[in-house]
């Protein structure tokens, strides 16, 4: 299985901060990397697909980058509704695997 490693596991930030989360895969996955936002008790939400493509309806303050083994999710100006856990996921090979998550807290 391809292992996905996110860092940091958690971070504290304030409204208006620029936040960057990194995700590294154990082997090259091209751009088969997606980012999700998850709030407790709710369905996870797709933010970014194919490493850098913004999902329809997602605010432009979210952006993604990278290819191969190293990827980033950036929130340019953190908003109150952005406090959540973020996961990366690879769909390059089965089984699809997720990172362990990054909790963004105040």
Partner 1 sequence: QVQLQESGPGLVKPSETLSLTCSVSGGSISDFYWAWIRQPAGKGLECIGRVSTTGSTNYNPSLTSRVTMSINTSKNLFSLNLRSVTAADTAVYYCARESDSDWHALEYWGQGALVTVSS
Reference 84, options 104, 98, 62; nearest CA is 104
Site string for partner 1, 6-25 (x = CB under 8 A): --------------------
* Residue 16 CB contacts under 8 Å (≥ 6 apart), including other chains: 77, 78
Residue choice 44, 58, 69, 76 for contact with partner 1 (CB under 8 A): 44
Check binding of 98 to partner 1 (CB under 8 A): yes
Residue choice 14, 42, 60, 81 for contact with partner 1 (CB under 8 A): 42
Quick one: 40 or 106, whose CB is closer to partner 1? 40
Residue choice 94, 103, 105, 106 for contact with partner 1 (CB under 8 A): 94
- Give the Cβ contact number of residue 75 at 10 Å: 21
Residue choice 67, 69, 100, 103 for contact with partner 1 (CB under 8 A): 100
d(CA 87, CA 34): 8
Q: Does residue 8 have a cis bond before it (omega within 30 degrees)? A: yes
Length in residues, the chain: 106
Which residues contribute to the site for partner 1 (CB under 8 A)? 1, 31-32, 34, 36, 38, 41-46, 49-50, 55, 87, 89, 91, 94-101
């Amino acid at each position: 299985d391809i292992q996905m490693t996110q860092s940091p596991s958690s971070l504290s930030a304030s409204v208006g901060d620029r936040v960057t989360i990194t995700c590294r895969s154990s082997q090259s996955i091209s751009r088969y990397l997606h980012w999700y936002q998850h709030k407790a008790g709710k369905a996870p939400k797709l933010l970014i697909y194919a490493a850098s493509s913004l999902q329809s309806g997602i605010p432009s303050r979210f952006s993604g980058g990278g290819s191969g083994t190293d990827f980033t999710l950036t929130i340019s100006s953190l908003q109150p509704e952005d406090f959540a856990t973020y996961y990366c996921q690879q769909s390059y090979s089965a089984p699809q695997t997720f990172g362990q998550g990054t909790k963004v807290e105040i």
